[in-house]
Structure 1
Amino acid sequence: MIRTDAAVAEIRRRHKLTNLLHSALLLGGMALLLALCGWVVAGGDGVFWAFAAGALSLLFSPRVSPRLVLGMFGARRLFYPEAPRLHEVTEAIARRAGLPVMPDLYYIPSPVLNAFTVGSREQPAIAVADGLLRALTLRELAGVLAHEVSHIRNNDLWVMGLADTMAGLTRFMALFGLVLLLLNLPLLLMEREPFPWLLVLLLTLAPAAGAMLQLALSRTREFDADLDAAHLTGDPGGVASALDRIERLQGRFWERVLFAGHRGHGGGPSLLRTHPDTRERVRRLLELRTPPPVLPRLEDLPIHVPFAQVHRRPRYRVSGYWY
């Protein structure tokens, strides 16, 4: 069904408002949980120092160079002559998104169906794995690239960094509180004070609750990036087709084990996923079916990959699985 521009704009506005509200509530919930742990540990001073530590962590945290992260994946720069159509599509999407600079494209020699973003709005980079380039058509790749550009435009890396900081501080405050309770246990027993089981329960469950809120925030940001990708390309069907194809092809056991949760995969409970369920993402996208795409018509054919096909698997290192 083809909807009018006004109807499509209203659906998009409603989804954006819902996603924004979800993100605000989840971040607020994480802040409240952190404040509660700080209050349990040291009252009002604990709340102050918890938020002060979070602010200082965000302000002075080291800026990791995108090249350092990409180097861990064995990524190399993908230049225009090697993939001209991919560069043209990325440039058109970045221009429509209003990014100050076009993201650099990187190639990862891996059969995994994956793409990710590193850097910031001023220094963005998008990495695309060999497996994804060979599996998707140019139209579907445009949807994936638009999704990653949306993460850049929406400052999702900063938002998720903020969430990670709050989750980390919550874990630290909870552990610190439990250690203090353990050290004061002899005093409580000697004075026959009632044991604070409620506080122990709160401090024990707080890190898990913070992690759940962080995962829920990640899923909300993914929904928002899907919505913006459909708007940037004017082709929600292309974004939905990419998600559906990745879902069908990314079914090998080793991928499920090593990358559980990625792209909505893994088969575990939805609360433990970093990405939403693919069927729900596709359903929401198809609600946005629009008139002709914003970008010039893209081929439903695979693109030319200027490298030999790779079959390299990730190797385990102390910091995790890297290529």
Structure 2
Amino acid sequence: MKARSARRHRWNNRLQTLLLVGAMSLILALSAWLLLGETAWWLALVSLGMVLLFAPRMPVEWMLRGAGARPLRPGQAPELNRLVRQLAGRAGLEQPPQLFWLPGTVPNAFTVGDGRRASIALSDGLFRLLDYPELAGVLAHEISHIRNHDIRLMTLADTVTRITQMLSMLAQLLLLLCIPLWLFGLVAVSFTGVALLILAPVISALLQLALSRSREYRADLDACELTGDPGALARALQKLEWQEGHWLRRLIWRRKPDSAPSLLRSHPPTDERIRRLLAQARARRAPLFPEDGPGGRGSGTDLFHRR
């Protein structure tokens, strides 16, 4: 029953992703048609494909080194690289992602690149905050993003939104230029079409945020399958959520107040993610990674040699 439920959840997630990306592409095509005419809608889609296929890609290492990151070689972080190899093997990746260490006390983890060129950056603050099972959950979450090609998908969504914004700005500029002609009755202006062109980038951006939240839920679920320990990822999310608030704000409020409406968030509410993870934890038995791994529960994880 659990396997059937997991498969149903995956198919629902894929259908939701397809609908969101399709809706964004439809908005882009409609914007191009309203601005450029009946035969121009496909030009926007072709240009989108050309951008994704032929746009130069900055090497991942340059991006990370620009942020002050340095690679974590197997000799520097043997346990950490062994953990990533295990998770990557369970995820079916052709090769494990390259690990990078970021300076700074703010706990953070993110993935850049895709496929064989993927890399995961972990901040020093993250190592000091999380224990071994929690760090395994965070790494499994990032590796799930790589397996699901979420970076490529979100790049596509971002490109669609940017092109839609460009068309909207062009439409508004043309409207300003046509106002004198419209006042003298020399041209006709469809204010319905103008309104749609102005609203199009807003709708596309909201759909992009919804897509991002959907991929985060999917990565959480897949991370549970890779580690078998949803509770560890839930604890990691709770620590990260608590760490984001200022110490004085945490002292005054037991719970950090919401800084933005849920509709405008790129990530789902942490409470909801934790609730889903704990529901998964209650349905499982034992984690695949022991809690007495390097670092231990409740202590900072020192899995590489700092210099």
Scaled by the length of structure 1, the TM-score of the pair is 0.85
Q: Is the 8 A contact 1:92 1:295 kept in 2?
A: no
Report the alpha carbon displacement of residue 162 of structure 1 after superposing the two structures with TM: 0.4
Q: Secondary structure at the match of 1:74?
A: coil
Corresponding position: 1:142 with 2:139? no
Alignment match of 1:207 (pick from 175, 180, 201)? 201
Report the alpha carbon displacement of residue 195 of structure 1 after superposing the two structures with TM: 4.4
Q: Is the 8 A contact 2:178 2:187 kept in 1?
A: no
Match of 1:62 in 2: 56
2:305 aligned partner, one-letter code: P
Match of 2:265 in 1: 273
Report the alpha carbon displacement of residue 193 of structure 1 after superposing the two structures with TM: 6.2
1:269 aligned partner, one-letter code: P
Match of 2:280 in 1: 288
Match of 1:307 in 2: 306
- Measured against aligned partners, the alpha-carbon deviations of 1:145-196 in whole angstroms (never above 9, x if no partner) come to 0000001111111000100110011011111222223323333222276642
- Measured against aligned partners, the alpha-carbon deviations of 1:178-227 in whole angstroms (never above 9, x if no partner) come to 22233233332222766422222212111111111111111111111111
Match of 1:218 in 2: 212
Corresponding position: 1:172 with 2:172? no
Match of 2:9 in 1: 15
Q: Secondary structure at the match of 1:80?
A: coil
Corresponding position: 1:246 with 2:240? yes
2:156 aligned partner, one-letter code: L
2:86 aligned partner, one-letter code: A
Q: Is the 8 A contact 1:234 1:295 kept in 2?
A: yes
Q: How does 1:53-202 map to 2 (within 5 A)?
A: 53-191=47-185, 195-202=189-196
1:283 aligned partner, one-letter code: R
**Equivalences, count:** 294
Distance in structure 2 (CA, Å) of the matches to 1:97 and 1:20: 18
Q: Is the 8 A contact 2:164 2:204 kept in 1?
A: yes
Distance 1:84 1:224, change over 3 A: same
- Measured against aligned partners, the alpha-carbon deviations of 1:273-302 in whole angstroms (never above 9, x if no partner) come to 111100100111122221222335544243
Distance 1:155 1:248, change over 3 A: same
> Structure 1, unaligned stretches of length 5 or more?
1-6, 255-263, 309-323
Report the alpha carbon displacement of residue 26 of structure 1 after superposing the two structures with TM: 1.1
Q: Is the 8 A contact 2:72 2:100 kept in 1?
A: yes
Q: Is the 8 A contact 2:129 2:301 kept in 1?
A: no
The answer to which of 139-148 and 10-19 deviates more is 10-19
Query: What percent of counterpart residues are identical?
Result: 44
> Structure 2, unaligned stretches of length 5 or more?
249-255
Q: Is the 8 A contact 2:227 2:289 kept in 1?
A: yes
Report the alpha carbon displacement of residue 138 of structure 1 after superposing the two structures with TM: 0.5
1:109 aligned partner, one-letter code: P
The answer to which of 28-37 and 290-299 deviates more is 290-299
1:248 aligned partner, one-letter code: W
The answer to which of 163-172 and 84-93 deviates more is 84-93
Match of 1:38 in 2: 32
Report the alpha carbon displacement of residue 234 of structure 1 after superposing the two structures with TM: 0.8
Scaled by the length of structure 2, the TM-score of the pair is 0.89
Distance in structure 2 (CA, Å) of the matches to 1:306 and 1:266: 37
Alignment match of 1:25 (pick from 19, 30, 45)? 19
